[in-house]
Structure 1
Protein backbone atom coordinates (compact mmCIF):
# COMPACT_ATOMS: atom_id res chain seq x y z
CA UNK A 1 0.00 0.00 0.00
CA UNK A 2 2.81 2.42 0.97
CA UNK A 3 4.80 1.54 -2.14
CA UNK A 4 1.84 2.27 -4.42
CA UNK A 5 1.38 5.65 -2.78
CA UNK A 6 5.10 6.43 -3.18
CA UNK A 7 4.92 5.50 -6.87
CA UNK A 8 1.98 7.86 -7.41
CA UNK A 9 3.77 10.65 -5.56
CA UNK A 10 6.90 10.15 -7.67
CA UNK A 11 4.86 10.09 -10.90
CA UNK A 12 3.11 13.31 -9.87
CA UNK A 13 6.48 15.02 -9.23
CA UNK A 14 7.72 13.90 -12.66
CA UNK A 15 4.55 15.14 -14.42
CA UNK A 16 4.79 18.50 -12.65
CA UNK A 17 8.43 18.80 -13.74
CA UNK A 18 7.42 17.79 -17.29
CA UNK A 19 4.76 20.53 -17.24
CA UNK A 20 7.25 23.14 -15.92
CA UNK A 21 9.80 22.32 -18.63
CA UNK A 22 7.08 22.37 -21.33
CA UNK A 23 5.93 25.76 -20.04
CA UNK A 24 9.45 27.20 -20.32
CA UNK A 25 10.65 25.51 -23.51
CA UNK A 26 7.54 24.34 -25.35
CA UNK A 27 6.16 20.80 -25.40
CA UNK A 28 7.95 19.93 -28.64
CA UNK A 29 11.33 20.83 -27.05
CA UNK A 30 10.69 18.92 -23.83
CA UNK A 31 12.55 15.63 -23.41
CA UNK A 32 13.08 12.97 -20.76
CA UNK A 33 16.63 14.32 -20.30
CA UNK A 34 15.35 17.86 -19.63
CA UNK A 35 12.76 16.59 -17.14
CA UNK A 36 15.50 14.60 -15.37
CA UNK A 37 17.66 17.73 -15.25
CA UNK A 38 14.75 19.77 -13.83
CA UNK A 39 14.40 17.20 -11.02
CA UNK A 40 18.18 16.69 -10.69
CA UNK A 41 17.84 12.93 -11.19
CA UNK A 42 19.09 10.35 -13.67
CA UNK A 43 17.14 9.75 -16.94
CA UNK A 44 16.64 6.13 -15.90
CA UNK A 45 14.52 7.21 -12.93
CA UNK A 46 12.07 9.00 -15.26
CA UNK A 47 11.98 5.96 -17.56
CA UNK A 48 11.34 3.70 -14.58
CA UNK A 49 7.97 5.45 -14.10
CA UNK A 50 7.21 6.46 -17.69
CA UNK A 51 8.39 4.37 -20.66
CA UNK A 52 8.23 7.20 -23.19
CA UNK A 53 7.42 10.83 -23.86
CA UNK A 54 3.94 9.71 -25.00
CA UNK A 55 3.33 8.22 -21.54
CA UNK A 56 4.43 11.53 -20.02
CA UNK A 57 1.95 13.32 -22.27
CA UNK A 58 -0.86 11.02 -21.09
CA UNK A 59 0.17 11.86 -17.54
CA UNK A 60 0.14 15.56 -18.46
CA UNK A 61 -3.42 15.31 -19.83
CA UNK A 62 -4.55 13.73 -16.55
CA UNK A 63 -2.71 16.49 -14.69
CA UNK A 64 -4.61 19.10 -16.74
CA UNK A 65 -7.91 17.35 -15.99
CA UNK A 66 -7.18 17.16 -12.25
CA UNK A 67 -6.36 20.88 -12.23
CA UNK A 68 -9.60 21.75 -14.02
CA UNK A 69 -11.59 19.50 -11.68
CA UNK A 70 -10.16 21.41 -8.72
CA UNK A 71 -12.36 24.35 -9.72
CA UNK A 72 -15.46 22.23 -9.33
CA UNK A 73 -16.84 21.46 -5.92
CA UNK A 74 -18.96 18.29 -6.06
CA UNK A 75 -19.27 18.34 -2.24
CA UNK A 76 -20.72 21.85 -2.29
CA UNK A 77 -22.85 22.28 0.85
CA UNK A 78 -25.07 25.01 -0.61
CA UNK A 79 -28.26 24.54 -2.59
CA UNK A 80 -28.37 23.66 -6.30
CA UNK A 81 -28.74 27.32 -7.34
CA UNK A 82 -25.61 28.38 -5.41
CA UNK A 83 -23.68 25.39 -6.77
CA UNK A 84 -24.68 26.16 -10.37
CA UNK A 85 -23.85 29.88 -10.19
CA UNK A 86 -20.58 29.12 -8.40
CA UNK A 87 -19.65 26.64 -11.17
CA UNK A 88 -20.41 29.19 -13.93
CA UNK A 89 -18.43 31.87 -12.04
CA UNK A 90 -15.49 29.46 -11.84
CA UNK A 91 -15.65 28.61 -15.54
CA UNK A 92 -15.48 32.29 -16.47
CA UNK A 93 -12.80 33.32 -13.99
CA UNK A 94 -9.13 34.22 -14.10
CA UNK A 95 -8.52 31.17 -11.94
CA UNK A 96 -9.85 28.81 -14.66
CA UNK A 97 -7.81 30.57 -17.31
CA UNK A 98 -4.62 30.54 -15.26
CA UNK A 99 -4.82 26.88 -14.18
CA UNK A 100 -2.82 25.58 -17.14
CA UNK A 101 -0.44 27.46 -19.41
CA UNK A 102 -2.10 28.05 -22.81
CA UNK A 103 1.05 27.08 -24.70
CA UNK A 104 1.23 23.68 -22.96
CA UNK A 105 -2.51 23.07 -23.31
CA UNK A 106 -2.70 23.85 -27.03
CA UNK A 107 0.59 22.09 -27.86
CA UNK A 108 -0.57 18.90 -26.20
CA UNK A 109 -4.02 19.30 -27.77
CA UNK A 110 -2.43 19.51 -31.25
CA UNK A 111 -1.26 15.90 -30.78
CA UNK A 112 -4.88 14.67 -31.07
CA UNK A 113 -4.49 15.05 -34.85
CA UNK A 114 -1.58 12.60 -34.93
CA UNK A 115 -2.25 10.17 -32.09
CA UNK A 116 -5.57 8.35 -31.61
CA UNK A 117 -4.81 7.41 -27.99
CA UNK A 118 -4.08 11.06 -27.08
CA UNK A 119 -7.24 12.07 -28.97
CA UNK A 120 -9.23 9.60 -26.85
CA UNK A 121 -7.63 10.88 -23.63
CA UNK A 122 -8.56 14.48 -24.52
CA UNK A 123 -12.08 13.41 -25.49
CA UNK A 124 -12.48 11.68 -22.12
CA UNK A 125 -11.13 14.75 -20.33
CA UNK A 126 -13.61 17.07 -22.05
CA UNK A 127 -16.47 14.61 -21.56
CA UNK A 128 -15.74 14.35 -17.85
CA UNK A 129 -16.01 18.13 -17.45
CA UNK A 130 -19.24 18.24 -19.47
CA UNK A 131 -20.72 15.38 -17.43
CA UNK A 132 -20.08 17.24 -14.20
CA UNK A 133 -21.74 20.42 -15.49
CA UNK A 134 -24.68 18.34 -16.80
CA UNK A 135 -25.22 16.89 -13.32
CA UNK A 136 -25.12 20.36 -11.74
CA UNK A 137 -27.71 21.61 -14.25
CA UNK A 138 -29.90 18.53 -13.67
CA UNK A 139 -29.90 19.21 -9.91
CA UNK A 140 -30.96 22.79 -10.64
CA UNK A 141 -33.68 21.50 -13.00
CA UNK A 142 -35.06 19.21 -10.28
CA UNK A 143 -35.26 22.19 -7.91
CA UNK A 144 -36.90 24.38 -10.62
CA UNK A 145 -33.94 26.77 -10.51
CA UNK A 146 -33.44 26.67 -14.31
CA UNK A 147 -35.82 26.40 -17.23
CA UNK A 148 -33.77 24.39 -19.71
CA UNK A 149 -35.22 21.49 -21.66
CA UNK A 150 -32.05 19.46 -22.06
CA UNK A 151 -29.33 19.65 -19.37
CA UNK A 152 -26.78 17.74 -21.43
CA UNK A 153 -27.20 19.93 -24.51
CA UNK A 154 -27.05 23.11 -22.40
CA UNK A 155 -23.83 21.90 -20.70
CA UNK A 156 -22.38 21.17 -24.15
CA UNK A 157 -23.23 24.67 -25.42
CA UNK A 158 -21.82 26.34 -22.30
CA UNK A 159 -18.55 24.44 -22.73
CA UNK A 160 -18.38 25.41 -26.40
CA UNK A 161 -18.75 29.01 -25.24
CA UNK A 162 -16.07 28.55 -22.53
CA UNK A 163 -13.56 26.89 -24.85
CA UNK A 164 -14.16 29.35 -27.69
CA UNK A 165 -13.90 32.27 -25.29
CA UNK A 166 -10.52 31.26 -23.88
CA UNK A 167 -9.16 30.39 -27.32
CA UNK A 168 -10.09 33.90 -28.51
CA UNK A 169 -9.09 35.62 -25.25
CA UNK A 170 -5.62 34.04 -25.37
CA UNK A 171 -4.91 36.78 -27.96
CA UNK A 172 -5.54 39.48 -25.32
CA UNK A 173 -3.66 40.58 -22.23
CA UNK A 174 -5.66 39.25 -19.25
CA UNK A 175 -4.93 42.37 -17.20
CA UNK A 176 -6.69 44.76 -19.60
CA UNK A 177 -10.25 46.17 -19.23
CA UNK A 178 -11.11 44.76 -22.68
CA UNK A 179 -10.41 41.22 -21.45
CA UNK A 180 -12.57 41.75 -18.34
CA UNK A 181 -15.37 43.23 -20.44
CA UNK A 182 -15.40 40.29 -22.83
CA UNK A 183 -15.30 37.62 -20.11
CA UNK A 184 -18.26 39.29 -18.33
CA UNK A 185 -20.23 39.31 -21.58
CA UNK A 186 -19.51 35.61 -22.21
CA UNK A 187 -20.47 34.68 -18.64
CA UNK A 188 -23.74 36.61 -19.03
CA UNK A 189 -24.47 34.65 -22.22
CA UNK A 190 -23.91 31.34 -20.35
CA UNK A 191 -26.25 32.42 -17.55
CA UNK A 192 -28.88 33.45 -20.11
CA UNK A 193 -28.72 29.95 -21.65
CA UNK A 194 -29.65 28.52 -18.25
CA UNK A 195 -32.77 30.71 -17.86
CA UNK A 196 -32.39 30.92 -14.09
CA UNK A 197 -35.68 31.34 -12.30
CA UNK A 198 -35.25 34.39 -10.07
CA UNK A 199 -38.28 33.46 -7.95
CA UNK A 200 -36.79 30.22 -6.62
Structure 2
Protein backbone atom coordinates (compact mmCIF):
# COMPACT_ATOMS: atom_id res chain seq x y z
CA UNK A 1 0.00 0.00 0.00
CA UNK A 2 1.49 3.34 -1.10
CA UNK A 3 1.72 6.51 0.91
CA UNK A 4 -1.05 9.06 0.60
CA UNK A 5 -0.17 12.15 -1.36
CA UNK A 6 -0.19 15.32 0.69
CA UNK A 7 0.69 17.64 -2.18
CA UNK A 8 -2.66 19.41 -1.74
CA UNK A 9 -1.38 20.44 1.70
CA UNK A 10 2.32 20.89 1.02
CA UNK A 11 2.17 22.89 -2.22
CA UNK A 12 0.03 25.74 -0.82
CA UNK A 13 2.25 25.80 2.27
CA UNK A 14 5.38 26.08 0.12
CA UNK A 15 3.77 28.76 -2.06
CA UNK A 16 2.77 30.76 1.02
CA UNK A 17 6.35 30.73 2.30
CA UNK A 18 7.66 31.54 -1.18
CA UNK A 19 5.29 34.51 -1.30
CA UNK A 20 6.67 35.74 2.04
CA UNK A 21 10.30 35.38 0.89
CA UNK A 22 9.54 37.24 -2.36
CA UNK A 23 7.70 39.90 -0.36
CA UNK A 24 10.81 40.40 1.79
CA UNK A 25 13.58 39.95 -0.80
CA UNK A 26 12.05 40.06 -4.29
CA UNK A 27 12.37 37.31 -6.87
CA UNK A 28 16.05 38.04 -7.36
CA UNK A 29 16.70 37.31 -3.69
CA UNK A 30 14.40 34.31 -3.51
CA UNK A 31 16.11 30.94 -3.55
CA UNK A 32 14.85 27.42 -2.96
CA UNK A 33 17.18 27.31 0.04
CA UNK A 34 15.73 30.47 1.61
CA UNK A 35 12.18 29.16 1.24
CA UNK A 36 13.19 25.80 2.72
CA UNK A 37 14.99 27.50 5.63
CA UNK A 38 11.94 29.65 6.31
CA UNK A 39 9.82 26.48 6.39
CA UNK A 40 12.33 24.50 8.44
CA UNK A 41 12.58 21.74 5.82
CA UNK A 42 15.17 20.36 3.43
CA UNK A 43 15.32 22.08 0.02
CA UNK A 44 14.81 18.68 -1.60
CA UNK A 45 11.16 18.84 -0.50
CA UNK A 46 10.61 21.93 -2.65
CA UNK A 47 12.35 20.32 -5.62
CA UNK A 48 10.13 17.25 -5.15
CA UNK A 49 7.00 19.37 -5.62
CA UNK A 50 8.17 22.02 -8.08
CA UNK A 51 11.22 20.52 -9.88
CA UNK A 52 13.02 23.89 -10.16
CA UNK A 53 13.00 27.53 -9.08
CA UNK A 54 11.33 28.38 -12.40
CA UNK A 55 8.54 25.87 -11.71
CA UNK A 56 8.04 27.38 -8.28
CA UNK A 57 7.87 30.88 -9.76
CA UNK A 58 5.29 29.80 -12.36
CA UNK A 59 3.04 28.34 -9.69
CA UNK A 60 3.66 31.43 -7.55
CA UNK A 61 1.92 33.53 -10.23
CA UNK A 62 -1.08 31.17 -10.13
CA UNK A 63 -1.05 31.27 -6.33
CA UNK A 64 -1.09 35.08 -6.46
CA UNK A 65 -4.28 34.95 -8.54
CA UNK A 66 -5.94 32.49 -6.13
CA UNK A 67 -5.19 34.53 -3.03
CA UNK A 68 -6.23 37.73 -4.81
CA UNK A 69 -9.61 36.29 -5.74
CA UNK A 70 -10.08 34.88 -2.25
CA UNK A 71 -9.35 38.32 -0.81
CA UNK A 72 -11.75 40.05 -3.21
CA UNK A 73 -14.58 37.61 -2.60
CA UNK A 74 -14.09 38.01 1.16
CA UNK A 75 -14.34 41.80 0.82
CA UNK A 76 -17.45 41.58 -1.36
CA UNK A 77 -19.13 39.08 0.99
CA UNK A 78 -19.54 41.86 3.53
CA UNK A 79 -21.72 43.82 1.10
CA UNK A 80 -25.12 42.57 0.00
CA UNK A 81 -26.74 45.76 -1.28
CA UNK A 82 -25.94 46.23 -4.99
CA UNK A 83 -24.71 49.80 -4.50
CA UNK A 84 -22.40 48.75 -1.65
CA UNK A 85 -21.03 45.83 -3.68
CA UNK A 86 -20.38 48.14 -6.62
CA UNK A 87 -18.55 50.67 -4.45
CA UNK A 88 -16.51 47.88 -2.89
CA UNK A 89 -15.65 46.53 -6.34
CA UNK A 90 -14.47 49.97 -7.45
CA UNK A 91 -12.23 50.18 -4.38
CA UNK A 92 -10.85 46.71 -5.15
CA UNK A 93 -10.20 47.45 -8.81
CA UNK A 94 -8.84 50.96 -8.49
CA UNK A 95 -7.13 51.16 -5.12
CA UNK A 96 -3.69 52.71 -5.13
CA UNK A 97 -2.94 51.86 -1.51
CA UNK A 98 -0.60 48.98 -2.27
CA UNK A 99 -2.69 46.77 -0.01
CA UNK A 100 -4.11 43.48 -1.14
CA UNK A 101 -2.37 40.78 -3.14
CA UNK A 102 -3.09 42.36 -6.53
CA UNK A 103 -1.29 45.57 -5.54
CA UNK A 104 1.64 44.45 -3.42
CA UNK A 105 5.34 44.03 -4.08
CA UNK A 106 4.97 40.37 -5.06
CA UNK A 107 2.50 41.22 -7.82
CA UNK A 108 4.75 43.95 -9.19
CA UNK A 109 7.76 41.64 -9.02
CA UNK A 110 5.81 39.07 -11.06
CA UNK A 111 4.74 41.78 -13.47
CA UNK A 112 8.32 42.96 -13.98
CA UNK A 113 9.50 39.39 -14.59
CA UNK A 114 6.85 39.14 -17.29
CA UNK A 115 8.86 41.56 -19.42
CA UNK A 116 11.73 39.07 -19.52
CA UNK A 117 9.86 35.77 -19.43
CA UNK A 118 7.10 35.00 -21.94
CA UNK A 119 5.62 32.19 -19.81
CA UNK A 120 5.20 34.51 -16.83
CA UNK A 121 3.81 37.23 -19.10
CA UNK A 122 1.23 34.77 -20.47
CA UNK A 123 0.18 33.74 -16.96
CA UNK A 124 -0.11 37.35 -15.84
CA UNK A 125 -2.19 38.19 -18.92
CA UNK A 126 -4.47 35.22 -18.22
CA UNK A 127 -4.77 36.36 -14.60
CA UNK A 128 -5.66 39.90 -15.71
CA UNK A 129 -8.32 38.56 -18.10
CA UNK A 130 -9.88 36.62 -15.22
CA UNK A 131 -9.88 39.76 -13.06
CA UNK A 132 -11.58 41.69 -15.87
CA UNK A 133 -14.20 38.94 -16.26
CA UNK A 134 -14.76 39.02 -12.50
CA UNK A 135 -15.28 42.80 -12.64
CA UNK A 136 -17.66 42.53 -15.59
CA UNK A 137 -19.75 39.89 -13.79
CA UNK A 138 -20.03 42.09 -10.71
CA UNK A 139 -20.90 45.20 -12.74
CA UNK A 140 -23.48 43.28 -14.77
CA UNK A 141 -25.09 42.00 -11.56
CA UNK A 142 -25.17 45.56 -10.21
CA UNK A 143 -26.80 46.86 -13.43
CA UNK A 144 -29.52 44.19 -13.22
CA UNK A 145 -30.31 44.96 -9.58
Q: TM-score, normalised by structure 1?
A: 0.61
Higher helix share: 2
Distance 1:82 1:53 in 2: 42
> Displacement of 1:51 after TM fit?
0.8
Distance 1:88 1:3 in 2: 44
Structure label with greater radius of gyration: 1
The answer to whether residue 98 in structure 2 is matched with residue 97 in structure 1 is yes
Paired position in structure 2 for 1:85 = 87
Distance 2:144 2:92 in 1: 22
The answer to whether residue 131 in structure 2 is matched with residue 133 in structure 1 is no
- C-alpha contact (below 8 Å) 1:71/1:90 kept by paired residues: no
Match of 2:111 among 104, 109, 112: 109
Paired position in structure 2 for 1:31 = 31
Distance 1:72 1:24 in 2: 23
**Gap regions ≥5 residues in structure 1:** 144-200
> Displacement of 1:92 after TM fit?
4.8
**Gap regions ≥5 residues in structure 2:** none
Aligned length: 140
Q: TM-score, normalised by structure 2?
A: 0.81
Cα RMSD (Å): 2.6
Residues 21-58 of structure 1: per-residue CA shift (max 9 Å, x gap)? 12222211111111111111111111000011111112
Paired position in structure 2 for 1:10 = 10
Q: Which has the higher contact order (CA 8 A, sep 6+)?
A: 2
> Displacement of 1:81 after TM fit?
3.0
